[in-house]
Amino acid sequence: MTLRLHDSASGVAQAAALLRDGSLVAFPTETVYGLGGDATSEAAVAAIFAAKNRPSFNPLICHYASADAAFTDVIPTATALRIAAAFWPGPLTLVLPRRAGSRVSLLAGAGLDTLAVRVPAHPLAARLLAAAGRPVAAPSANLSGRVSPTTAAHVLDGLDGRIAAVIDGGACAVGLESTVLDLSGPVPMLLRAGGIPLETLRDLLPEIAEATHGGTAPRSPGQMLSHYAPDLPLRLGAQTVAADEALLAFGPAIAGGALQFSLSDSGDVVEAATRLFAGLRYLDAEGRRLGLRGIAAMPIPEMGLGRALNDRLGRAACAQPE
């Protein structure tokens, strides 16, 4: 049973404690209700994907109590500082280069070298984020593919029993997801239309371009295949591993290989999700150092988060390294 918490000092304190403990809490923003989890915890982020039945590890938006807090995890450009001053708090997400020492989990950023960050304007969200004291990853609080929720009742319609709590802040004022603006490249790029109209952004950014979504949109969730690709070739469905390959193992590892990384010894897809991007990075770096010819990935069942794991591994295998 999912707790329904009130907009009160005690409700905020309980919700913040649950987030710090790694539990999932839905909360209102001015746009829609978000399904919040500790963005610094791989396990909490994996639980978000599991609760939503989200089919792929798309980048999640990290929510902060202030712009200063957000800029501890990303590197703000001069344009980003100007846009943040104009529109934060508010329904605008900025995609910026990830800081080298960022505390945000690799899974929350889908292994990219950028992060999507925003400072919501809803007063309850601001109090909750300040009380939690850490970035909170939060996609919309609904099952994947369903209509985004704008009330606590909507959240419970789809996620009752799947998350720890929802804190009720009434109906969302905007009712439409945040605008997503990529400022990590040379040209500002609108990745998603949302709560702030393109025309309003163009008042400050006349050079803004609109992304196409045919597989080449920069930083668009799940679009750029090469962002998931190690430099070493990746071989899927491995039943054996050669002496000059590294092994990405799932369940009981097969014998052989010069190097191994286990996603989950027990074959737990949720645990595997928390370790996927770290495992690929480790095997790629160490494998190249050792002069290996590739990475062999053991099969993962197409169930639960296994579908998302296979989606990302498939993208990595077919992509050409940048």
Tell me, yes or no, whether 95 and 78 share the same domain.
yes
Contact 201, 195 (CB under 8 A): no
pLDDT band at 103 (very low <50, low <70, confident <90, very high): very high
Mean per-residue pLDDT over the chain, rounded: 90
Domain boundary among the residues 170, 189, 221 is at: 221
Tell me, yes or no, whether 196 and 243 share the same domain.
no
Sign for the pseudo-dihedral over CA of 50, 54, 59, 61: negative
pLDDT at 319: 60
Tell me, yes or no, whether 252 and 211 share the same domain.
no
Q: Stretch 123-145: mean pLDDT, rounded?
A: 95
Q: Which backbone phi and psi does 98 adopt, to 5 degrees?
A: -75, 135
Domain boundary among the residues 195, 221, 247 is at: 221
pLDDT at 123: 97
**DSSP code at position 67:** H
Q: CB under 8 Å to 206, separation ≥6 — which residues?
A: none
Q: Stretch 116-137: mean pLDDT, rounded?
A: 98
Identify the CA nearest to 155 among candidates 24, 60, 38. 24
Q: Which of 67-71, 89-93, 118-122, 146-150 is least confident?
A: 146-150
CA–CA dist 221, 213 (Å, integer): 10
Domain that holds residue 119: 3-221
Tell me, yes or no, whether 286 and 312 share the same domain.
yes
pLDDT at 223: 40
Tell me, yes or no, whether 191 and 306 share the same domain.
no
| pLDDT above 80: residue 219 | no
322 versus 245: the higher-pLDDT residue is 245
